[in-house]
Structure formats: C-alpha cells, structure tokens
Amino acid sequence: MNGQAQLGDFLRTRRSQLRPADVGVPTYVERRRVPGLRREELAQLAGVSVSYYTRLEQGHSQSASPEVLDAIARALQLDESERLHLHDLAGADRHRPRNRRPAPERVTEAARQLLDVLEDVPAVVLGRRSDVLAWNQLGHALFAGHLDPDGPQGVGERPNMARLVFLDDHTRELYADWPSKARAVVGNLRLVAGQHPQDGALHALVGELGSKSTEFASMWADHRVKPCTVAAYEMRHPLVGNLSVIQQTLSHGPGPVVIVATTEADSPSRAALTLLTQATAPATTRPVTQDLRRADPALPGSRLLTD
C-alpha cells in the first residue's frame, strides 16, 4: 500500500470519528449524511481550502507542508504519536527507497548483554514486525512457554508476537484483558507501517492477520496508533496462575527493542515469577546462548533465534 493511500484512509477514518460537538462546530439540528465532520468543516478548522484538503484525502497531493499537517493534526485533535504518524504517512512516498529491500534485523551486542544480566526478569528482543529475535529463559516461560524455546514457530519463521496475540489460543488466554493487549499490538503495527512503507514483509503480516482474524481487521481499519512503551497487564499463566506485570519497551534508537515484564517488589506477582523461574529451570546448566545453528559459550541464559 502506498503512502498516499494510507494517508487518505487515515484522514477519512479520523475525521469520521470526530463529532461536530467535540470541536464546537454547530449543526443547527440538520440531518447529516456523515457520522463525523464533513470535509469542509475539517478544512475550515485547519485553515486550508476544501479543495486542497480533498486532494489530500484522495491521495492526489504529495506537497503538504509540515505546518499544514500540524494544522490538520490540531483540527483532528491528534495526540503526539498520531501527529508524528500523520507526518510519516504524508512523506512516505517522497522518502521511499527505490528497489531496496530492508536489511535483515539482528540482535545487537548491547541487547545480548542486557538479556544476559536480566536473569530474573522476563525479557524478549523484538524486531519492528514483532518477530522474536531472542529471549531469555524467563521471557520464553512467561510469554510463550508452549513453544520450542530454541526453534522457529513453523518452517522458516521466527515466533511473531502479533501473530501469537491474534492467532494463538494460549497467548489469547494469557491476557485477562485480551482486547487491550490486541489494540496495543495493532496500534504499534500501525506506527511501524507508517515509518516503513517499503517493508513488504510487514504488509504481508498485516494481510495475513487481517485475513485470519476479523478482530484484527476491525482494529486495523480503526486507524488508531499507539507506541508500545509502558503498559500494565493482568496475566493468567497456566503454571503459576494470575500475576500483574508492567511491560516496558527499552529502545536505543532504530533497530530491535527489548521488552521486559516487571512486577512490584514483595508482591504475589513477584512470587509468581520466582515460582516460574524455579518451575522452568533447566536440569543442567545450558550454554550461554542457544543458537539454532551453533552454541556460543559466551552468553549464558539467553536464546537467539536466527534466520
């Protein structure tokens, strides 16, 4: 999908979600044919001509200035993440690399060292498409203990957290408020799709999830965007029962991120994680990093999933 098409869809959807009363637009009790703001009403709020705004929605303009985009963002009452997403969509085609495949995602040395020291904290390294690039023992046990810790989920595939959330029964049951987790996954994928419009594998993932999950298709069509930075979840683990965790994203700029799940000190949830550590501890000491092709004795405790 090209950037202008995504931009038009985003603008139309968000305009339809904004009621006239939300922005002080008088309706004079007339019968309205659209559920949200009309194009002319949004254009007036943003201070642009109706014809210009219409061209933006129809994907016929690639020259929107940052100032105009910010004015439209204010008119739509977008938050900061949504405003940046709007800018990404508007500039997607202008900045699209030609005939260039995205570089394969790798686990950085810093991320490997972080997994090594986070022995008592569940941690997972995710690529931008939510592919699991690596995890420590407790991260695997908490998020995907039903999967082989050392192998891919299916032939030639890494485990993928978005795919697990929507298509895997174990993961669905893991979250007491599954819709909240699902919306967070979709909101983050929306942001990534705006930042990487050339990523064919990402668009293939979105297409797969949309075809296999009506819930994903509905959430994707809503065009809500949200970075996965910090979120609290109630989890129902089959081995240790209920626990409350805060999932945090640790990022060092472009590239894979580390997701950690923390619990309150001296809480039942902390005790549940301790029990999970004991329940899933290997009978013998494993090599430091378990690679699908080789064992590296330099990094005990973490597992790297390779291409």
Contact of 184 with 208, CB cutoff 8 Å? no
Residue 187 has pLDDT above 70, yes or no: yes
Half-sphere exposure of 185 (CA within 13 A, CB side): 27
**Averaging pLDDT over each range in 36-40, 100-104, 239-243, which range is the top one?**
239-243
Strand 230-237: give its sheet, edge to edge: 230-237, 241-250, 257-262, 123-126, 132-136, 302-304, 289-290, 295-296
Residue 61 has pLDDT above 80, yes or no: no
Mean pLDDT of the chain: 84
Average pLDDT in the 60-65 region?
76
* pLDDT bracket for residue 93 (50, 70, 90): low
- pTM to 2 decimal places: 0.81
Strand partners, 134: 125, 304
Tokens describing residue 46: 């943003």
> What is the model's pLDDT at position 49?
93
The more confidently predicted of residues 27 and 114 is 114
Residue 231 pLDDT exceeds 50: yes
Residues 276, 147: Cα–Cα separation, whole Å: 16
HSE-CB for 253 with a 13 A CA cutoff: 2
Distance CA(178)–CA(294), nearest Å, equals 36
Predicted confidence at residue 305, as pLDDT, reads 64
**Residue whose pair of structure tokens reads 């129809």 in the numeric block:** 58
3-class DSSP state of 67? helix
Average pLDDT value for residue range 200-215: 94
Query: Sorting pLDDT into bands at 50, 70 and 90, what band is 226?
Result: confident
What is the model's pLDDT at position 94?
A: 56
DSSP string, 131-180: BEEEEEHHHHHHHHTTS-TTS-SSTT---BHHHHHHH-HHHHHHBTTHHH
Q: For the chain, give every residue range classified as CATH 3.30.450.180.
A: 109-304
Least confident segment among 124-133, 149-158, 257-266, 281-290: 281-290
pLDDT, residue 292, reads 28
Q: Which residue has the higher pLDDT, 213 or 2?
A: 213
> Is residue 259 over pLDDT 90?
yes
**How many CA atoms within 13 Å lie on the side-chain side of 67?**
2
In the chain, ranges of CATH 1.10.260.40 domains = 3-91
Q: What phi and psi, each to the nearest 5 degrees, are found at residue 78?
A: -80, 145
Q: Which residues pair with 160 in a beta bridge?
A: 131
pLDDT on residue 299: 38
Note the helical H segments in the chain: 3-16, 39-46, 50-57, 66-75, 80-91, 109-117, 137-144, 161-167, 169-174, 178-195, 200-212, 214-221, 268-279
Quote the percentage of the chain above a pLDDT of 90.
55
pLDDT tens sequence across 154-184: 434 689 999 999 999 999 999 999 999 999 9
**Span 48-56, average pLDDT:** 92
Query: Who wins on pLDDT, 16 or 1?
Result: 16
**pLDDT at res. 27:** 67
Distance CA 130, CA 55 (A): 34
Record the tokens describing residue 168, joined without a space: 């895997």
Q: Span 111-135, mean pLDDT?
A: 91
Provide the pLDDT for residue 116: 87
Say which range, 47-56, 88-97, 148-157, 208-217, has the weakest mean pLDDT.
Answer: 148-157
In whole angstroms, give the CA distance from residue 139 to residue 180: 20
Kindly state the average pLDDT of the residues 213-224: 95
Res 291: pLDDT: 35
The pLDDT assigned to 176 comes to 97
pLDDT at residue 96 tops 60: no
Q: Tell me the CATH number of domain 3-91, given options 3.40.50.11440, 1.10.260.40, 2.60.120.680, 2.40.50.100.
A: 1.10.260.40
How does residue 28 score in pLDDT terms, banded at 50, 70 and 90? low
CATH number for the domain whose boundaries are 109-304: 3.30.450.180
For 158, the token pair is 């890494």
Pairing of strands 289-290, 302-304: parallel
Token pair 């100032």 is found at 67
The conformation of residue 238, written as its DSSP 8-state character, comes to: T
